[in-house]
């Protein structure tokens, strides 16, 4: 069975080569203590429900949904771009627009129902799909909410995939085993992050052996050799 050992070693080296390329894209992400910073930089998305309130002109108060074109419509002023702005930036934009219509406008914008407060967990987890963010959530917590990892998972190269405000994608590789062992190194997730848990090379080899060896060529128990 030397041919089998040789084949398995080639599979292991190929898998190692694939996983090692992801580490070159590692970027520093905020640790779990930076929750306030993540929340403060939330950028408005299409479908968000906004409360626009006027302290001195309550008759202008409105609750609006950000349209798919990224704009909102309000009384007295033209359409205003909202997508991509923080609530503070939109407040400043509205204040400038209403200065031409009313005396000393005092405006505030509240994101009542943010549609973007979710992340996605995929790969070797028991319940892949969307996970809602209630407050803050870390990569490890999102995996737990997705039912935990399967036995076939590789916890040493879990990937966080993130698209920033400039539509650029960055990734980071997490070693979940080390995070759980040392209690540090976890990262806070941002809305629309993707947490991907890959398969382990060992599980791929076991699947190959199960499909192409054990089911097709029965191996007698106690034959006297092992696969390392």
Per-residue DSSP letters for 10-28? HHHHHHHHHHHGGGGGB--
pTM score: 0.52
Is pLDDT at 26 greater than 70 in this prediction?
Answer: no
Residue with tokens 């029965």: 218
- Using DSSP, state whether 112 is helix, strand or coil: strand
Inter-residue contact 139 to 160 (CB < 8 Å): yes
pLDDT given for residue 202 in this prediction = 62
Tell which wins on pLDDT, 141 or 13: 141
Please, what are the domains in the chain?
Answer: 2-40+116-214 (3.10.560.10), 49-113 (3.30.1950.10)
Inter-residue contact 39 to 194 (CB < 8 Å): no
Q: pLDDT of 123-156, one tens digit each?
A: 999 999 999 887 789 999 999 999 999 999 999 9
- Percentages of the chain per state (helix, strand, coil), in multiples of 5: 35, 25, 40
Q: pLDDT of 81-116, one tens digit each?
A: 999 899 999 999 999 999 999 998 999 999 988 776
pLDDT given for residue 225 in this prediction = 35
Residue with tokens 């070797």: 124
- Mark 23-47 as b/e (b = at least 16 C-beta within 10 Å): eeeeeebeebeeeeebeeebbbbee
């Amino acid at each position: 069975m030397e041919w089998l050992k040789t084949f398995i070693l080639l599979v292991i080296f190929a898998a190692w080569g694939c996983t090692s390329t992801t580490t070159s894209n590692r970027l520093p992400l905020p640790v779990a203590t930076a929750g306030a910073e993540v929340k403060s930089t939330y950028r408005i998305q299409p479908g968000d429900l906004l409360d626009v309130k006027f302290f001195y002109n309550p008759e202008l108060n409105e609750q609006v949904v950000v349209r798919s074109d990224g704009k909102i419509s309000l009384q007295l002023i033209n359409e205003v771009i909202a997508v991509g702005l923080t609530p503070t930036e939109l407040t400043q934009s509205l204040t400038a627009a209403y200065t031409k219509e009313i005396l000393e406008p005092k405006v505030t914008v509240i994101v009542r129902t943010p549609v973007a407060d979710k992340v996605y967990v995929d790969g070797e987890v028991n319940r892949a799909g969307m996970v809602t963010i209630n407050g803050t959530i870390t990569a490890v917590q999102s995996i737990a909410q997705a039912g935990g990892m399967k036995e076939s998972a590789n916890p040493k190269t879990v990937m966080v995939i993130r698209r920033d405000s400039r539509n650029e994608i960055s990734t980071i590789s997490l070693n979940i085993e080390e995070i759980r062992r040392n209690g540090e190194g976890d990262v806070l997730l941002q809305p629309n992050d993707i947490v991907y848990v890959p398969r382990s090379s060992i599980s791929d080899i076991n699947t190959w052996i199960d499909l192409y060896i054990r089911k097709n060529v029965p191996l007698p128990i106690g034959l006297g050799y092992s696969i390392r």
